[in-house]
Structure 1
Amino acid sequence: MSVVTVDDQITIALSVRDRHASAKWYEEMLGFSLNVHIDDAGWSEMSTNTKGVVLGLGEQAEPVPGNAVPVFGVADIAAARSALEGAGVKFDGPTETMEGMVSLASLYDPDGNALMIAQDLSKGG
């Protein structure tokens, strides 16, 4: 039995130097389509060719290759985090919220692999 139920979307987040250039590359080379550029947050999202899988591009001055982080959507991030912490899962700092957009929390699996959970706030959730 799982501690947390996730929704029907997974986002794979990558750090990139230039989101706009990267988005263009993913469109031209892999046929992905741009969903949104959120310049204030340094974030872009693209639909991949796999149903339910989104590519997130987070802008960083010096991205490190091999930095993919799966981001699992949850209906209620506070409840999900509480359940995971209750089961002994280690989190990296507090939950971060961008009002009207998203709430995010970074956590680690038993081997130290970084993951995130996210609640979409743009749909009134």
Structure 2
Amino acid sequence: MSVVSLENTITLAISVKDRHASANWYSEMLGFEVLHHFDEAGWSEMLTKTAGVTLGLGEQVEPTPGNSVPVFGIGDIATARRDLEAAGVKFDGETETVEGMVSTATFFDPDGNAMMLAQDLSGGT
């Protein structure tokens, strides 16, 4: 029995200098489809060819090559975080929310690898 119940989605988040240029590259080279660009949040998401897996492009001035953060979809981020913290899982700061879009919380596995929980607040799929 797991501490939390994840949804059937995962987003592989990477940092890039220019989300729009990167989205074009992933579209042309790998056939990924842009789901949305959230310019106010510096975030874009692309539908990959694998069911339930999206690619998230986080815009940064100095991206970290080779760094990918798996983002696991969750129905209730507050409860999941509470349960994981009670089990000794360490989180990086507070849960962050972009109203009407998403709530996220970054946590670490025992080896220090960053992962993230994300609750969709858009009302969509």
User: What TM-score range do you get, normalising by the shorter chain?
Assistant: over 0.9
1:109 alignment partner AA: D
Match of 1:92 in 2: 92
Residue 110 of structure 1 aligns to a residue in which SS?
A: coil
TM-score by length of 1: 0.98
In the TM superposition, what whole-angstrom CA distance separates every residue of 1:37-92 from its partner, at most 9, and x where no partner exists? 00000000000000000000000000011110000000000000000000000000
Distance in 1, matches of 2:86 and 2:64, equals 32
Q: Please provide the CA RMSD for this pair.
A: 0.8
Aligned length: 124
TM-score by length of 2: 0.98
Residue 15 of structure 1 aligns to a residue in which SS?
A: strand
- Which runs of 4 or more aligned residues in structure 1 lie more than 4 Å from their structure 2 counterparts after TM superposition? none
Residue 83 of structure 2 aligns to a residue in which SS?
A: helix
Summarize the alignment of residues 21-32 of structure 1 with structure 2, pairs less than 5 Å apart.
21-32=21-32
Shift of 1:104: 0.2
Match of 1:83 in 2: 83
Match of 2:112 in 1: 112
Unaligned runs of 5+ in 1: none
Percent identical:
69
Unaligned runs of 5+ in 2: none
1:118 alignment partner AA: A
